Amino acid sequence: MSMTEQEIVAAVGEIVEEICGIPADQVTPEKKFLEDLEIDSLGMVEIAVAAQDNLGVAIPDEQLRNLETVQAVVDFVRNAAVSA
């Protein structure tokens, strides 16, 4: 499965909307999860689990801590898909 950058952004947005109730169109690449979207560390784990379920990309907890922006998650998903 190959997704475009925009498709990955949309998919991450859908996950954030489902888990945190934040409208997907507000989940733009430059947003910071903690500061802008007010998603804490446990919320991030929920997003990681959903990414594994929906996109087939496992994000280890120790790497999750470094993914501060929506763009960082999108890049991680894209790179994982490329290397898979």
Alpha helix segments (H runs only) across the chain: 5-20, 41-55, 61-64, 70-83
CB of 47 to other proteins, least distance (A): 11
Of 14 and 46, which CB lies nearer to other proteins in the complex structure? Answer: 46
Rounded Cα distance, 36 and 57, in Å: 24
Q: Report 4-63 residues binding other proteins (CB under 8 A).
A: 41-42, 44-46, 48-49, 52-53, 61
For residues 18 and 41, the answer to whether their CB atoms sit within 8 Å is no
Query: What is the binding site for other proteins (CB under 8 A)?
Result: 41-42, 44-46, 48-49, 52-53, 61, 64
